[in-house]
Structure 1
């Protein structure tokens, strides 16, 4: 009987009753779907820093076009990188435009990120035309990954796209060899589009042995490549989801293949632009500069699809290898005559 219970037992019973009522009561507000919620804080684990829009190529589907020639002074860039590292950045990818138009500041930023910020991974994405062995010889210890864009192994297709001048494939093989020589992970990027969607690239990919082969479905970005009024009109290069799937199926034997359809790519990249602002791929304005408002406030003002970032494999083994790093396998680079 309750009259025989001790005061402590009665208190415990009362607490249990209150807890049960709390758990059974309906919420005061209906829960939001997960896609509509945002965490109070976000961690910019992997950042793509497009520090210039200038480029020496004219790819017809480019979605980060040369609308400005602005580039921040190197001290500002280093301070922004320091802020990002303090906010949790573990990987930085330098992109453009074409980053090798500025080899000296690029090399300085590589060293800063590796030696002072001690980032896990530092990478570059390039069209490859300006890469020189001397750069890799000097900066290889500060560079984990070098990604080279190549959309076709037929030079006439590269020329039609606007990426090639008739020598891109030979240069690609040279870069792959340099990366192996200096211990840098070699990565291959391909934009699957109307001009290359039926191409069979298996033999070349097997020979090049990239540790990752990213295949992107050509993407239309509002305000960049969405009409004839822009610097680039990517609409004439678009393909269907089914055509993209067929391309990936043709190359499914390549263990390094990482497909990125539009649904995963569009909003899953955290991009810092040449003004040190985060871009918003939903059509909103970019954030203010992280030097002005800090990383967290800048992040809160844009949309970054973190779930798609994880789904497309945004987290992977991205550190420079201690020894030989395997790729897709197959023939050696030297076995194909260029």
Structure 2
């Protein structure tokens, strides 16, 4: 898919968000050339079985895998981002040292929001009810539609994108790799 997006669609920047479980160095060797940004999810630093955040298998290597993916991103010149959703299981965790060690180009921290049937237990949320009030207030005011039905230009116009705010919050950064004669070489 990343190759298709870069070569066939001609997208200037191709990024993916992954939990990292299926990413290997062979994957980077095969597809890293067409990938600009890899966002890896970091839920918690604690190791082992953590059903409260969706980690049901007793995997103790998730941090090792995170560091490995960070190294592969550097080696194959893919920008490395970390996404963390704050919830009742991690809101008091100090991740600063690990984030500094991992050295992502971005660390995005999100508020856990209500998604019916997925994270709606009382003990799995931290103030999500506050954030759920706004969509509830505006429910029914805007009819959602598929980008396949309305087209890219109309979808962008309806997205509410604010370039001034985007720039103020630091949204402009290196989105794609520099290419020399169409070739990207590992670092």
TM tier, smaller: 0.7 to 0.9
Aligned CA distance change for structure 1 residues 283 and 133 (closer, same or farther; 3 Å): farther
Residues 103-133 of structure 1, C-alpha deviations (whole Å, 9 max, x = no match):
xxxxxx3112222333221100011111121
* Aligned residues of 2:119 and 2:125 also touching (Cα < 8 A): no
5+ unaligned residues in a row in structure 1: which ranges? 1-108, 242-261, 268-281, 324-338
What CA distance in whole angstroms lies between the structure 1 residues aligned with 2:36 and 2:23? 15
Q: Return the match for 1:199 from 93, 98, 102.
A: 93
* Distance verdict in 2 for CA 1:158–1:150, change over 3 Å: farther
Q: 1:319 to 1:164 in 2, by over 3 A?
A: farther
Displacement of 1:159: 4.1
Note closer, same or farther for the CA distance 1:239–1:137 as it changes in structure 2 (3 Å cut). same
Q: Does 1:286 align with 2:144?
A: yes
Checking the alignment, whether the CA contact within 8 Å between 1:121 and 1:144 is kept in structure 2 is yes
Corresponding residue for residue 171 of structure 1: 65
TM-score (norm 1): 0.44
Map of 1:306 onto structure 2: 161
Alignment of 1:1-338 (within 5 A): 109-156=1-48, 158-163=50-55, 165=57, 166=59, 167-220=61-114, 225-226=115-116, 230-233=117-120, 235-240=122-127, 282-284=138-140, 285-287=143-145, 289-298=146-155, 304-307=159-162, 310=166, 312-320=169-177
Matched residues in 1 for 2:121 and 2:176: separation?
34
Partners of 2:149 and 2:160 in 1: how far apart? Answer: 24
Specify whether residues 202 and 187 from structure 1 end up closer, same or farther in structure 2 by C-alpha distance, changes over 3 A only: same
Q: CA deviation at 1:306?
A: 2.0
Shift of 1:142: 0.5
SS of structure 2 residue aligned to 1:163? coil
CA distance in 2, matches of 1:120, 1:131: 23
Gaps of 5+ in 2: none
Question: Residues 52 and 124 of structure 2 are in contact (CA less than 8 Å); yes or no, is this contact kept in structure 1?
Answer: no
Whether the 8 Å contact between 1:127 and 1:163 is mirrored in structure 2 is: no
RMSD: 3.1
CA contact (8 A) 1:148 1:188 kept: yes
Provide the secondary structure at the position in 2 that maps to 1:128: coil
Instruction: Judge conservation of contact 1:151–1:158 (CA < 8 Å) in 2.
Output: no
Distance 1:139 1:295, change over 3 A: same
The C-alpha deviation readout for 1:172-205, integer Å capped at 9, x for no partner, is 1111111112111111111111111111112211
Deviation of the 1:206 alpha carbon: 1.4
TM score, norm. by length of structure 2:
0.74
